[in-house]
Amino acid sequence: MDSGTKHELSVQQNTQTELRINEIFYSIQGESVKSGLPTVFIRLTGCPLRCRYCDTAYAFHDGSKMTIDSIIHNISQYRAKHVTVTGGEPLAQHSCLELLARLCDEGFLVSLETSGFMDIANVDERVMKIMDIKTPGSTEENKNNFDNLKYLTEHDQIKFVICNKTDYEWSVQKVTDLNLTDICEILFSPEHDSLCAKELAEWVLEDKLNVRLQLQLHKYLWGNVPGK
């Protein structure tokens, strides 16, 4: 077998890479600096975390295997520029890295929503990463992987989901201690069922923080409806 044949075989095998997909849907982006934009969401199955406020627990186990080619064919029907890969924790499936690269190659503007627990070192540099730092109120504070900070760039974002004043003060301290505003934009998001957005806004203004207040726009539009 010559080298050309080997290369063709390798490409053919890669097109058959499979991931377990919980759902693919088209909606309005409710979070990040892309909030408000029509977006295709690819939700991968599985997550090693169990945040107290998780609103996608249905993605822990349910899903069907799809090849990357099938995923791209599926999302192309929406004629959307923006694609968000989410979970669960999408990076819990190693082939997510290949999916992200392929989506970029196809010309999509790709964002990744990740818990910050999984290693992001090998995420394609074209992908906009939205990385959580888990607050005490999540009950998964011990899962934070702060080594990931060195792989973030100015076009990424760090998100804190804040449940109460204790979470807020903890988050402010992390922003200060880790010089997070020197890395990328910081998002403070009130946990939808625990903290009034107006109250969080007042704290941010009172402390003159250089952060973006983020609301979960999709929940104000449709509530806690899966696939929205």
Average pLDDT, the chain: 91
Distance CA 98, CA 213 (A): 32
> Model-level pTM greater than 0.85?
yes
Q: Which residue has the tokens 């996608």?
A: 56
Please state the domain extents for the chain: 14-222
**Can you tell me whether residue 49 is helix, strand or coil?**
coil
Distance set, CA 192 to CA 1, 38, 53, 78, 148 (Å): 59, 22, 9, 29, 26
* 30-45 confidence digits (pLDDT tens): 999 899 999 999 999 9
Q: Which CATH superfamily is domain 14-222 in?
A: Aldolase class I (3.20.20.70)
Q: Is 123 within 8 Å of 94 (Cβ atoms)? A: no
Tell me how far apart the terminal alpha carbons of the chain are, to the nearest angstrom. Answer: 49
The tokens for 199 are: 């109250």
* 166-199 confidence digits (pLDDT tens): 999 999 999 999 999 999 999 999 998 899 999 9
* 108-143 confidence digits (pLDDT tens): 999 999 999 999 999 999 999 999 999 999 999 999
Alpha helices, DSSP H, located in 29-182 = 68-76, 96-105, 165-177
Distance CA 135, CA 156 (A): 19
Residue 9 pLDDT level (bands cut at 50, 70, 90): very low
Distance CA 142, CA 136 (A): 9
